[in-house]
Amino acid sequence: MDRRAFLKTGGLFLVGTPCLGGLLVMSAPRTAAASGAGTRRWGMVIDLRRCPADCTACLDACRRENNVALHDDPRWDVHWIRKVTIARKHGKEERTRTVPLLCNHCDHPPCAQVCPVQATYKRADGIVIVDQHRCIGCRYCLIACPYNARFFNYKGGETWTNTGYPKRSHGVAESCHLCAHRLDEGRPPACVEACRARGTGALCVGDLDDPDSEIARLIADNSVKRLRDDLGTEPKVYYIGL
Amino acid sequence: MSEEGTIGRLRTFVLVALPVVVILAPLGYSLYDHVFARPSLEDGDALEDGDAAPFLEFPAERDAGCVRDTEYMRFHHWELLREVRDQAMRHGVRGEISLDRCRTCHQSRERFCNRCHEAVSLEPDCFGCHYYPASPTALTSDTAPAHGPGR
């Protein structure tokens, strides 16, 4: 072997070995992403055209499922999903509309940014969730949230309406977690289930990244709005007919 | 036999016996206690006040379906629960281990968890939020909703 052939072969080996290693690593199956929160990106569509003003099926289902405390006092009541009536004037005519409000599960959640102990965080699948084990009750997230979707437990929950899910003690913040415990098991959130059972079907939760999903179709086919889109929080709750 | 010989033998005896009594006897007892006397807890130690009930209430079929062996659970159950909690909470990985699964065998928190925890003055705050009735009979009074679920 002459000097030139030796250098060419040696150089090939020198470059080829790390490249081969990299290829092997890349081709290895990714087990971590396949389990748990996964690679989906959960979002919600609320079709206000199909949402009757006097219906509280989703609110009731949420309270039952997540043991959300109700103390019959607006100072302490906690609402993971609530309905507000908004009025808008078109000339002399005034139109009112009832809108369900809940945590918007922002892609850039201000609540998670201000949390000093990382109790509020965004899961890999985009759900913004509070780890009540870690929450110190500083209430920064209540102030940071532009949607007023966060509530503080001034009093603890008294009872379990659903024994399969914990209630919260006093002194922690909480908000809608899109029924993460149900989504992890492949079941729809309680509000969506109740809405479907009632026959209105105004709520839809699904994978925003999957172009074949029902939610992606709804967003593509309709004129959708997000709340306070100008803030740059990139909320993942879309409203049709707002 | 001379008197000096007796004293000499006594001194030798004392020199041999003293280390045995002072060092080896406690060591031996400790060893015996550790190896043989410890399982009596599993067989059900009577309470100090003469109660015939076992210190801890064991499920009917012992170790039948527990997620780990008894020794591990006795000393490390809190590490296991903490790990399971973080996996479910932070990563959405909900495995088979949960407090609900504990409850299927260890039905009484009062007679299972609390006995040890009270004895060592530890108060875990799991059950302020997580449903685990003090005893199966307390199920109705413990969980009766004070207000309707849908209000």
List pLDDT tens digits, range A94-108.
888 899 999 999 999
CB-based contact (8 Å) between A234 and chain B? no
CA distances from B35 to B39, B45, B69, B70 (A): 8, 16, 18, 16
Amino acid at A101: L
Q: How far apart are CA A198 and CA A57, in angstroms?
A: 7
Residue A176 sits in the same domain as residue A79: yes
- pLDDT at res. B138: 52
Instruction: Report the number of secondary-structure helices (H) and strands (E) in chain B.
Output: 7, 0
Q: Which of A131, A160, A163 sits opposite B89 (nearest CB)?
A: A131
- Is the confidence at residue A32, as pLDDT, over 50? no
Residue A10 sits in the same domain as residue A130: no
Structure-model confidence comparison of residues B59 and A199, the more confident one? A199
Q: Looking at this predicted complex, what is its ipTM? A: 0.75
Q: Say if A149 falls within a structural domain.
A: yes
CATH number, residue A96: 3.30.70.20
Minimum Cα–Cα distance from B149: chain A residue: A64
Residue A65 sits in the same domain as residue A168: yes
- pLDDT at res. A147: 94
Kind of pairing between the strands at A42-47 and A203-207: antiparallel
Helix-strand-coil percent breakdown of chain A, rounded to 5? 30, 20, 50
Q: Phi, psi (5° rounding) for residue B35? A: -85, -45
Q: How many domains does chain A have?
A: 2
Residue A126 sits in the same domain as residue A10: no
Q: Which of B100, B129, B149 sits opposite A167 (nearest CB)?
A: B129
Secondary structure letter of residue A109 according to DSSP: -
Residue numbers in B near A168 (CB within 8 A): 129
Residue A188 three-state SS: coil
Give me the residue spans of the domains in chain B.
70-136
Q: Say if A25 falls within a structural domain.
A: yes
Cα torsion B46, B47, B51, B56 to 10°: value is -80
Residue A22 sits in the same domain as residue A137: no
Of the candidate ranges A173-187, B22-36, B137-151, the one whose mean pLDDT is the lowest: B137-151
Residue A127 sits in the same domain as residue A25: no
Minimum Cα–Cα distance from A130: chain B residue: B89
Burial of A39 (0-12, 13-18, 19+ CB in 10 A): exposed
Q: How far apart are CA A64 and CA A162, in angstroms?
A: 6
Report the gap between the CA of A4 and the closest CA in chain B (Å): 55
Q: Do B129 and A60 touch (CB under 8 A)?
A: no
Helix ranges (H only) for chain A are 3-27, 31-34, 57-66, 110-114, 140-144, 180-184, 190-198, 214-221
Of the candidate ranges A17-21, A70-74, A88-92, B118-122, the one whose mean pLDDT is the lowest: A17-21
Query: What is the extent of the structural domain holding A71?
Result: 41-240
What string of H, E and C letters represents the secondary structure of B110-141? Answer: CCCHHHHHHHCCCCCCHHHCCCCCCCHHHHHH
Q: How far apart are CA A192 and CA A43, in angstroms?
A: 12
Q: Do A131 and B131 touch (CB under 8 A)?
A: no
- Is the confidence at residue A240, as pLDDT, over 70? yes
- Is the confidence at residue B50, as pLDDT, over 60? no
- pLDDT at res. B34: 74
**How confident is the prediction for chain B on average, in pLDDT?**
75
CA distances from B43 to A66, B12, B120 (A): 41, 45, 21
CB count within 10 Å of CB B80 equals 14
Residue numbers in B near A132 (CB within 8 A): 129
Q: How confident is the model at residue A224 (pLDDT cuts 50, 70, 90)?
A: very high
Residue A12 sits in the same domain as residue A119: no
Q: How far apart are CA A111 and CA A142, in angstroms?
A: 7
- pLDDT at res. B31: 85
Q: How far apart are CA A235 and CA A223, in angstroms?
A: 16
Q: Say if A138 falls within a structural domain.
A: yes
Residue numbers in A near B94 (CB within 8 A): 36, 181, 184-185
